[in-house]
Structure 1
Amino acid sequence: MSWKNLFNAKECQATIDRINTLTKDTPHLWGKMNVAQMLAHCNVTYELVYTDKHPKPKGFQKFMIKLFAKNVVVGPKPYKRNTRTAPMFLIADQREFDTEKQRLIDYLKKTQQLGEAHFEGKESHAFGALSAKEWNTLFSKHLDHHLQQFGV
């Protein structure tokens, strides 16, 4: 499957437009998160790139993540509904919709502006060096999955 190229300004804007159709009351079609929690969950992907908020896996744990999760995350197949996620992605507390939405849009814009060249060979939190294509798949597939979860 082909995913939107979030390094491309038009395709990134199309994804932002989808995010902008969400409201704080948009219901989920599956899963347990409300829309603000989903946005916070999506922000974790970018926190792993742009902050040191989450500890990096080491040794055997990193090896196992690379072995079992990398191809699921950066491969072409869409995510299945209600699949388990890594603990750092679990959002159980309530979040502020407008804050999380703006954070996600800001992360998307920053990623697009940095561009493919910035991400080519960039080390990921748990998977080692990824190509720009793999980074784009990671970003785009995850967002698409959760935007579909909320019907946009």
Structure 2
Amino acid sequence: MKSIFEEDAYNELLSRIEKLSPSSERKWGSMDVAQMLHHSQKPFEIPLEKTTIKKPNILMRLMIKSFKPLLYNDKPWKKNLRTAKEFVVTAPKDFDKEKQYLLDLMAEYYAERNRESWKPHPGFGHFTNAQWGQMQYKHLDHHLRQFGV
């Protein structure tokens, strides 16, 4: 699995994001491209401690534990997967502003690529550095494929 912490993979993601435009059309889902860019910021904000999400209840945590490895394995995610309610975006967003903030978060996150430990994710718990990098790559790859780049 590629990792956003690998220079080639990081640069590939940057290049793919640059191919997006305000008129990029989705292949599936309900978010437009600006909303997708906003949505894609959230998984970076959590480990960078800029935001958090509510911890799930014990029953939900047990369910989450069973699919946690799907977050960072080699198998692409299915289309139209559900997301945490905190990640749902329905309000209109400004493409340029959302794109720039995502790029800024990515750069800040990439700068932490040699970090040895991260605070546990509020929903999924502990990830290794490798898993954090793979998960972030996989999430962005999923949404960039959603918009054909």
Q: Which residue of 1 aligns with 2:17?
A: 19
Q: Which residue of 2 aligns with 1:7?
A: 5
Task: Name the aligned partner's letter for residue 126 of structure 2.
Answer: A
Q: CA deviation at 1:120?
A: 4.0
Alignment of 1:27-66 (within 5 A): 27-57=25-55, 59-60=57-58, 63-64=61-62, 66=64
Change (3 A) 1:118 1:67: same
Task: Name the aligned partner's letter for residue 130 of structure 2.
Answer: K
In the alignment, is residue 73 of structure 1 matched against residue 55 of structure 2? no
Task: Name the aligned partner's letter for residue 35 of structure 2.
Answer: Q
Q: CA deviation at 1:47?
A: 1.6
Give the aligned CA root-mean-square deviation in angstroms: 1.9
Task: Name the aligned partner's letter for residue 26 of structure 2.
Answer: H
Work out whether residues 45 and 51 of structure 2, in 8 Å CA contact, stay in contact via their aligned partners in 1. yes
Which residues of structure 1 form unaligned runs of 5+? none
In the alignment, is residue 148 of structure 1 matched against residue 145 of structure 2? yes
- Structure 1 stretches of 4+ with a deviation exceeding 6 A read none
**Secondary structure at 2:23's aligned position in 1?**
coil
**Secondary structure at 1:50's aligned position in 2?**
coil
Alpha-carbon displacement from aligned partner over 1:55-102 (angstroms, at most 9, x marks no partner): 330551562353244122233321001111111111011111111101
| Percent identity for Structure 1 against Structure 2 | 31
Distance 1:102 1:11 in 2: 19
Alpha-carbon displacement from aligned partner over 1:31-68 (angstroms, at most 9, x marks no partner): 11100000011011112222353333055156235324
Work out whether residues 37 and 91 of structure 1, in 8 Å CA contact, stay in contact via their aligned partners in 2. yes
In the alignment, is residue 137 of structure 1 matched against residue 111 of structure 2? no
Change (3 A) 1:103 1:121: closer
Change (3 A) 1:52 1:107: closer
Counting helix residues as a fraction of each chain, which structure ranks higher? Answer: 1
Q: TM-score, normalised by structure 2?
A: 0.88
Q: Which residue of 2 aligns with 1:91?
A: 89
Which residues of structure 2 form unaligned runs of 5+? none
State the number of aligned residues: 149
Distance 1:130 1:37 in 2: 27
Distance 2:76 2:62 in 1: 21
Q: TM-score, normalised by structure 1?
A: 0.87
Q: Which residue of 2 aligns with 1:105?
A: 103
Work out whether residues 122 and 131 of structure 1, in 8 Å CA contact, stay in contact via their aligned partners in 2. no
